[in-house]
Amino acid sequence: MKPGAIAAFNSNDIYPISADSTMPFQQHRDIFYLSGVDQEESILLLFPSSIKEKHREVLFVRETNEHIAIWEGEKLTKEKATEVSGIATVYWLNEFNKVFFDLMTEADTIYFNTNEHYRQSSETQTREARFIEKCKKDFPAHQYAKSNPILQEIRGVKEPEEIEQLQKACNITEKGFRRVLSFLKSGVMEYEVEAEYLHEFIRNRSRGFAYTPIIASGNNANVLHYIENNQPCKDGDLVLMDVGAEYANYASDMTRTIPVSGRFTDRQRNVYQAVLRVKNKATQLLVPGTDWEEYHIEVGKIMTGELLGLGLLDKADVKNEDPNWPAYKKYFMHGTSHHMGLDTHDYGALKTPMKANMVFTVEPGIYIPNEKMGIRLEDDVVIQESGSPLNLMKNIPIEAEEIEQLMNSN
């Protein structure tokens, strides 16, 4: 941060549905990352240049009382807020305007926490956006800056404690997958598979799915974001399952593709093995210094070789390809990796070289609509200072032989 600057971070709203119904509260990941506070109507101020040392970190939480405790449950007291966050100075939220005005008389610049994630597309005005709008009106003579570039840097490189939480989330996902391997059979509905995952996740202290699950049988797997999950799983088809458990606000992100019958056909196995080889080779490219764009170009070359081997492309397709949309994109049209962490598509630098302790997915796929087959495989890996990445999903079955063995062991 610049000298003389203050940064503000707001909790998320509780979003309404209709009548008196609301979505379950999900904390804004930035204020959670910086403070550990997982409660609505909280504000964090960071002001390293404050004249008073006690105002260099300030937390505001909603005042609680016995009535709130009875109707909504226990909320943070000032003492508990300090215990959770490590921040000594805690005020009730109704004191915010007075304290904030006083601190802004010392500050020259305010850092706003705008959402600059490359996939963001929000049409809802957030609590953060309302705060920014009000600040610009109330403090027109101040300079404005962006906290997001700083957060992209620090959130992208994970602390050991974060990697531990991510591993717990992946371990819960593993339990769900093993449960489904013994459950899946012809005639089972996709939503029944989803329910098996959810049952296992919640009984292991997850709040549920880290993102909307994809349970795509047969040709549904060729719809990349298929989430209806309402069709039967039929003998002879594959089921693509893109699911991940949440744990303590941290996400996991797994994809496995398994045969409904418990056995891959020869063609299914050949395509499966091709995707697995691409995933394994791509994983080895995730080392410190790797450029994200160049990495995807290299993975595209690996995939092209596999598609030639499967007979899905020929040499003429490759020779005449459009450099802006290479031939392999006909069968593998999405990216291979994204940052993982508090968000499934997490914050993290993408225009600078990769660093140790960044966590990425690796998720190649081959989609063949005219064969009613789509296969994607995905693990979550941690870049190491040296050597191969650490696969947080190394214990989740992925080899075709092991999957067949587990599905037929009952």
DSSP secondary structure letters along 305-347: HHHHHTTSS-HHHHHT-BTTB-GGGGT--S-S--B-SSSSS--
β partners of residue 378:
255
371 assigned to active site? no
Give the separation between CA 290 and CA 285, rounded to whole angstroms.
7
**Predicted structure pTM score:** 0.94
In this structure, the answer to whether residues 229 and 141 fall within a common structural domain is: no
In this structure, the answer to whether residues 247 and 173 fall within a common structural domain is: yes
In this structure, the answer to whether residues 303 and 370 fall within a common structural domain is: yes
**pLDDT value of position 410:** 67
Catalytic pick from 20, 74, 79, 293?
A: 20
345 assigned to active site? yes
Where does a domain end: 89, 123, 155?
A: 155
Name which of 75, 218, 105, 157 is nearest 355 in CA terms.
Answer: 157
Give the separation between CA 381 and CA 287, rounded to whole angstroms.
11
Q: Which two tokens stand for residue 48?
A: 């390293």
334 assigned to active site? yes
In this structure, the answer to whether residues 309 and 377 fall within a common structural domain is: yes
In this structure, the answer to whether residues 216 and 146 fall within a common structural domain is: no
237 assigned to active site? no
95 assigned to active site? no
In this structure, the answer to whether residues 64 and 192 fall within a common structural domain is: no
317 assigned to active site? no
Catalytic pick from 194, 363, 379, 380?
A: 363
Which residues, given as ranges, of the chain have pLDDT below 50? none
376 assigned to active site? yes
128 assigned to active site? no
**pLDDT value of position 73:** 78
Three-state DSSP state, 70: helix
Each residue's pLDDT tens digit, 21-67: 888 889 999 999 999 999 999 999 999 999 999 999 999 999 887 77
Residue 325 belongs to domain with CATH number: 3.90.230.10
Each residue's pLDDT tens digit, 119-149: 777 778 899 999 999 999 999 999 999 999 9
Name which of 241, 238, 195 is nearest 215 in CA terms.
Answer: 241
379 assigned to active site? no
Catalytic pick from 267, 334, 399, 402?
A: 334
Catalytic pick from 53, 225, 322, 385?
A: 225
Q: Identify the domain containing residue 183 by its residue range.
A: 157-407
In this structure, the answer to whether residues 76 and 172 fall within a common structural domain is: no
20 assigned to active site? yes
363 assigned to active site? yes
Give the separation between CA 406 and CA 410, rounded to whole angstroms.
8
Name the H helices within 204-291.
266-284
The number of distinct structural domains making up the chain is 2
Give the separation between CA 190 and CA 199, rounded to whole angstroms.
14
In this structure, the answer to whether residues 190 and 147 fall within a common structural domain is: no
